[in-house]
Chain A
Amino acid sequence: MGAGFVQLSLPPILIGVFAAVACALPGNFLLLRRQALIGDAISHVVLPGIVVAFLLTGSVSTWPMLLGAAGAAVVSVVMIEAIRRLGRIEAGAAMGVTFTAMFAGGVLLLERSGTSGVHLDVEHALYGNLESLIWFDATGWASLLDPAALAGLPPELPRMAGTAALIALATRLFWRPLTLATFDEGFARSVGVPAGAVGFGLVVAAAVAAVAAFDAVGSIIVIAMFICPPAAARLMTDRLTAQVWWSVGFAVLSAVLGYVLAGYGPLWLGSRHAVSAAGMIAVVSGLILALAAGFGPRRKRAGEDPSAA
């Protein structure tokens, strides 16, 4: 746990933790509103946005990419609504049509533009590149207090931390309208909560989390963290506050354990090579969900006896 750890492992672990928490928080509400797959859709549609941003600016710098991704997310929302209303197609199918078509378009753009050689490629978009986010300037734990070294932190870290903090703050500030609109839209409206706006804001928050995390950790973690920690938490408790805390705990646990297992697990098994951290984090979150589904105290629907079957 010395300089090597601070240099190589601390930044990716922290980035993973912040990404996981940023996705898990809105995930709780999406889960309860049966919109869990929105994270999946968002992570597919941002690809063309990122590619277009790259083609326009010719660089892989962050802000154009984030803007491109956000633009693509907006386009997809408009497209889903347009297909749903104009074509009178059921929402799930409209979503499926939109996100596959946009992803296919992104893939095609990517291959046509000859950008596949640069670090921008489909695999990167899917798996992310958590392991490469290294803090070169760190010499040990003391570097955490050294402004010069801190300036050399991978830029993804402050960005992801900021996103997570922003989303946590928004969750805290809008707690009451969020819960009301999630559980009983009619009642929420009658007490003056703009339920439609709350729902839209939630999707926007999810998109912000997904886009920020997408850049650093790839889409697998994004999708897994939107769903698995909140779903596991849902099986642990009946109270929303507790569920949110459980989900944050599960998200942090998945990120840390997943990274450690990916980096050090193969060494313990006698292999010299690490495996994908992004994939392993998703797997750990899945294992947590499996345990919760098997033993969680509130795994049954209301009225069903958990000891039966």
Chain B
Amino acid sequence: MLDQALSALLLQAGWNATLVALGAALLGAAAGGAGAFIFLRKRALVSDAVAHATLPGVALAFIVMVALGGDGRSLVGLLAGAAGSAWLGLLAVDRLTRRTRLSEDAAIGAVLSVFFGAGVVLLTVIQTMTAGRQAGLESFLLGATAGMLLEDAVVIALGAAACALAVALLRRPMTLVAFDPGFAASTGVNVARMDLAMMGLVMAVTVVGLKIVGLILIVALLIVPPAAARFWTERTDRLLVIAAGIGAVSGWVGAAISAAAPDLPTGAVIVLVAFALFLAGLLLSPARGVLAAVLRRRRFAHRVHRRQGLLALARGEAILEPLTQRLLRREGLIRADGVPTEAGRAEAAKARLDEARWAAMRARRDDAEAARYDGLTPIETVLAPDEIAELDRRLGPRAPEGA
């Protein structure tokens, strides 16, 4: 199984699997990019309504195609139906939000559940049709790449490529709108049209992703990569690229794993890969990660303990707190029995002088620089040497060290 996954990963598992992996990667990239816009615009959950709203369209398209004499399995036809009902769902969310007093989250939930319910009703209708027994429309719920037809794989790969291209082309105006609609309008961008394009893009990604990821989980591909990308950058343009990258990796790896284990629903695998990348960012990101925060806090605690320990030494008090003892001993500032070394006495005197200078300064001034006192910052980093000399003059003759 590992071999198979590896060969699928390296595009060696046959033409179909290769196309599916490529399609999934492109889809992930497009979804990550499109998701970044709605993430910034804080409308991530609208895509959930859009995704669930595709189900009645898929079912209706199947019924219509069978009624017209086909076998109802043409992917293009099914996806066209999905797009149609997704559009209606989007329209319904918009209407409910703007024409009534309901808030957007209520509109999203209502559209999501009602359209999905309608889809389920139509699915049970299909089950009773003779052509519907092997329709396999359930695979649209959770995605399945096992046994995918070549032409379906081509359709998905092309559709995903088109979405990715659209993201690349529209990234500048969309970033503007997502980040600052007012400013975007003032520079001549048509905000309403861009919002529409954004939602159109979300819809396109959703529809193309139906077969691979499934309509219940496709929303994850729009939400998780941008949220994961947020750990690695503070800049919008990079957020977009990183989100697309994370999406692409998730799609690629997920499709490869599911090529090796065909009974696993592809959508769930892809989403879990994306979630693993999200967790990696949550833990490891240097600026916002949990690990970095823990290290920062530890370093801070050590600085506080060291400083308090030195001040205690300067006052001639014994140090009883174990962490402080350990820190000072490690630096060679105190001996094993707690008596300060020569270096320790010097450091302690420095700390006390610093503290005294700060106190003198804060007694006189009440400005931003005085407010920087936190018991840790050396005063040399805040004041110029002549200011310190002035402070020292006012402090008068120093007390003998170590007293």
Residues of A within 8 A of B (CB): 31, 34-37, 39-40, 83, 86-90, 92-97, 100-101, 103-105, 107-108, 111-112, 122-123, 126-127, 220, 223-224, 226-228, 231, 234-235, 262, 266, 271-276, 278-283, 285-286, 289, 293, 296, 298-302, 309
B37 — which chain A residues lie within 8 A by C-beta? Answer: none
User: CB of B267 within 8 A of chain A?
Assistant: yes
Are A298 and B101 interface neighbours, CB within 8 A?
yes
Are A90 and B42 interface neighbours, CB within 8 A?
yes
Distance between Cα atoms of A245 and B226 in the complex (Å): 42
Against A, the Cβ 8 Å flags (1 = close, 0 = not) of B53-75 are 00000000000000000000000
User: CB of B199 within 8 A of chain A?
Assistant: no
B123 — which chain A residues lie within 8 A by C-beta? Answer: 276, 279
Distance between Cα atoms of A49 and B117 in the complex (Å): 24
Distance between Cα atoms of A89 and B293 in the complex (Å): 15
Are B113 and A220 interface neighbours, CB within 8 A?
yes
9 tightest Cβ-Cβ pairs between the two chains A and B: A282-B117, A286-B114, A279-B120, A100-B220, A224-B113, A96-B223, A273-B128, A279-B121, A227-B109
Q: Which of A88, A234, A282, A309 has the most CB of B within 10 A?
A: A282
Are B223 and A223 interface neighbours, CB within 8 A?
no
| Residue ID in chain B nearest A228 by CB atoms | B110
| Residue ID in chain A nearest B127 by CB atoms | A273
9 inter-chain pairs at a CB distance below 8 angstroms, sorted by A residue, are A40-B48, A97-B220, A100-B223, A223-B113, A231-B102, A278-B117, A283-B118, A286-B117, A299-B100
How distant is B95 from chain A, measured CB to nearest CB, in Å?
Answer: 7
Within the complex, which residue of B110, B120, B226, B282 is in contact with A83, where a contact is CB–CB below 8 Å? B282
A281 — which chain B residues lie within 8 A by C-beta? Answer: 117
Q: A83-B282, A92-B44, A298-B101 are in contact. Are A289 and B110 (CB under 8 A)?
A: yes
Q: A126-B120, A226-B109 are in contact. Are A289 and B114 (CB under 8 A)?
A: yes
Distance between Cα atoms of A224 and B123 in the complex (Å): 18
Q: A100-B223, A111-B265, A220-B113 are in contact. Are A122 and B105 (CB under 8 A)?
A: no
Are A107 and B42 interface neighbours, CB within 8 A?
no
Not counting A223-B109, A234-B101, A289-B114, a sample of 16 additional A-B residue pairs whose C-beta atoms are within 8 angstroms of each other reads A37-B108, A40-B48, A86-B282, A94-B227, A96-B45, A100-B271, A101-B224, A107-B268, A108-B269, A228-B110, A273-B127, A273-B128, A276-B123, A296-B100, A299-B101, A300-B101
| Residue ID in chain B nearest A102 by CB atoms | B275
B226 — which chain A residues lie within 8 A by C-beta? Answer: 93
Within the complex, which residue of B117, B267, B278, B290 is in contact with A283, where a contact is CB–CB below 8 Å? B117
Are B217 and A103 interface neighbours, CB within 8 A?
yes
Q: A262-B121, A293-B96 are in contact. Are A34 and B103 (CB under 8 A)?
A: yes
A107 — which chain B residues lie within 8 A by C-beta? Answer: 142, 217, 265, 267-268
Are B288 and A286 interface neighbours, CB within 8 A?
no
Are B112 and A112 interface neighbours, CB within 8 A?
no
Are B102 and A126 interface neighbours, CB within 8 A?
no
Q: A40-B112, A104-B271 are in contact. Are A122 and B142 (CB under 8 A)?
A: yes
| Residue ID in chain B nearest A98 by CB atoms | B275
User: CB of B21 within 8 A of chain A?
Assistant: no
User: CB of B306 within 8 A of chain A?
Assistant: no
A262 — which chain B residues lie within 8 A by C-beta? Answer: 121
Within the complex, which residue of B39, B103, B119 is in contact with A36, where a contact is CB–CB below 8 Å? B103
Q: A100-B219, A103-B216 are in contact. Are A108 and B265 (CB under 8 A)?
A: yes
A309 — which chain B residues lie within 8 A by C-beta? Answer: 99
Distance between Cα atoms of A104 and B272 in the complex (Å): 7
Are B110 and A96 interface neighbours, CB within 8 A?
no
User: CB of B264 within 8 A of chain A?
Assistant: yes
Within the complex, which residue of B44, B99, B120, B227 is in contact with A127, where a contact is CB–CB below 8 Å? B120
Within the complex, which residue of B95, B120, B125 is in contact with A278, where a contact is CB–CB below 8 Å? B120
Are A93 and B44 interface neighbours, CB within 8 A?
yes
Within the complex, which residue of A97, A228, A282 is in contact with B223, where a contact is CB–CB below 8 Å? A97
B336 — which chain A residues lie within 8 A by C-beta? Answer: none
User: CB of B231 within 8 A of chain A?
Assistant: yes
User: CB of B141 within 8 A of chain A?
Assistant: yes
Distance between Cα atoms of A95 and B124 in the complex (Å): 31
A40 — which chain B residues lie within 8 A by C-beta? Answer: 48, 109, 112-113
